[in-house]
């Protein structure tokens, strides 16, 4: 347990890196990541409420759904998801502000922004998952639904991601009568990040160091994370 503070540090570091990855993907103007698609569409429609604030709101909905589904099986430590949500959502706004000067117009620059964002997000996810501390809200809700429905995590994850994109598309059409906030970048990030995470896991020495801090070599969360990024 004396290694828990270090594991928590790396978990929150991973979240911080993730926020910059999401910002780079979003700034490419080719479509944000699937998990951020609904908050971003709402932010485009209601710009007085920040992207990060909408992210916080929707992640809190994910946490409430977990509590409703799992009930007594929602362990108290998972309330740390709220702290993780607060940090991640706040840093999305910080990241978007830090990149406010970056507004690529040419397709090559936009593609570079998308690629950089995907790589940053992959590194962040690897660092976030390796400490085996808690799940983030977007993954926690998938695990909860998987547990309640007795379906494989990977299957539920795919259905969940598609559902998020469809909902975002519906709201985009309602708000703007066309697609905004979604695009080829959404598809590319969904398809590429899992493979990039695998590359980072195998070739980034820091990941192996973080994993050595964990008490359990093969926890349920680790298995779910592996299925997520397979």
For 103-143, the pLDDT digits (tens) are: 888 999 999 999 999 999 989 888 988 888 888 898 889 88
Q: Does the residue 197 lie in any domain?
A: yes
**pLDDT-derived band of residue 177, with 50, 70 and 90 as boundaries?**
very high
Report how far residue 136's alpha carbon sits from residue 134's, in angstroms, rounded to the nearest whole number: 7
Report how far residue 104's alpha carbon sits from residue 226's, in angstroms, rounded to the nearest whole number: 34
Question: Is 49 or 220 the better-scoring residue by pLDDT?
Answer: 49
Q: Does the residue 227 lie in any domain?
A: no
Average pLDDT estimate for 66-95:
91
Q: Does the residue 229 lie in any domain?
A: no
Contact predicate 223/152, CB 8 Å: no
Q: What is the pLDDT of residue 154?
A: 76
- Which of 196, 166, 197 lies closest to 182 in space, CA to CA? 166
Instruction: Output the six-digit token pair for 3.
Output: 């290694």
- Total domains in the chain come to 1
**pLDDT-derived band of residue 2, with 50, 70 and 90 as boundaries?**
low
pLDDT higher than threshold 80 for residue 224: no
Q: Does the residue 176 lie in any domain?
A: yes
Q: What is the pLDDT of residue 226?
A: 45
Range of the domain at 150: 4-220
Q: Does the residue 79 lie in any domain?
A: yes
CB atoms within 10 A of CB 171: 18
Q: Which residue blocks in the chain are alpha helix, DSSP H?
A: 4-27, 37-45, 51-70, 80-98, 107-129, 137-149, 153-176, 184-203, 205-211, 220-228
Q: Does the residue 225 lie in any domain?
A: no
- Looking at residue 71, the DSSP 8-state letter turns out to be G
Q: Does the residue 230 lie in any domain?
A: no
Q: Does residue 108 sit in helix, strand or coil?
A: helix
Q: Does residue 73 sit in helix, strand or coil?
A: helix
The pTM (predicted TM-score) of the whole model is: 0.82
Q: Can you list the pairs that 105-112 forms with residues at least 24 positions away whose Cβ atoms lie under 8 Å? A: 110/28, 110/29, 110/30, 111/28, 111/30
Average pLDDT estimate for 180-201:
86
Q: Does the residue 168 lie in any domain?
A: yes
Report how far residue 125's alpha carbon sits from residue 106's, in angstroms, rounded to the nearest whole number: 29
């Amino acid at each position: 347990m004396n290694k828990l503070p270090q594991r928590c540090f790396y978990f929150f570091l991973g979240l911080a890196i993730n926020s910059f990855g999401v910002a780079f993907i979003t700034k490419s103007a080719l479509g944000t990541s699937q998990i951020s698609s609904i908050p971003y569409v709402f932010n485009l429609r209601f710009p007085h409420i920040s992207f990060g604030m909408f992210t916080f709101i929707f992640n809190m909905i994910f946490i409430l759904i977990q509590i409703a589904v799992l009930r007594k099986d929602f362990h108290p430590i998972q309330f740390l998801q709220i702290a993780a949500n607060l940090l991640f959502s706040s840093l999305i706004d910080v990241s978007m502000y830090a990149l406010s000067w970056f507004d690529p117009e040419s397709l090559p620059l936009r593609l570079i922004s998308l690629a950089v964002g995907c790589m940053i997000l992959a590194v962040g996810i690897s660092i976030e998952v390796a400490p085996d501390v808690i799940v983030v809200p977007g993954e926690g809700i998938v695990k909860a639904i998987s547990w309640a429905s007795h379906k494989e995590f990977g299957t539920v994850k795919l259905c969940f991601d598609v559902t998020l994109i469809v909902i975002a598309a519906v709201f985009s059409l309602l708000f703007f009568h066309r697609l905004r906030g979604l695009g080829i970048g959404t598809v590319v990030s969904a398809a590429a990040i899992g493979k990039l995470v695998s590359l980072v896991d195998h070739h980034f020495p820091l990941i192996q160091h973080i994993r050595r801090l964990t008490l359990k070599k093969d926890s349920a969360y680790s298995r779910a994370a592996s299925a997520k990024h397979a």
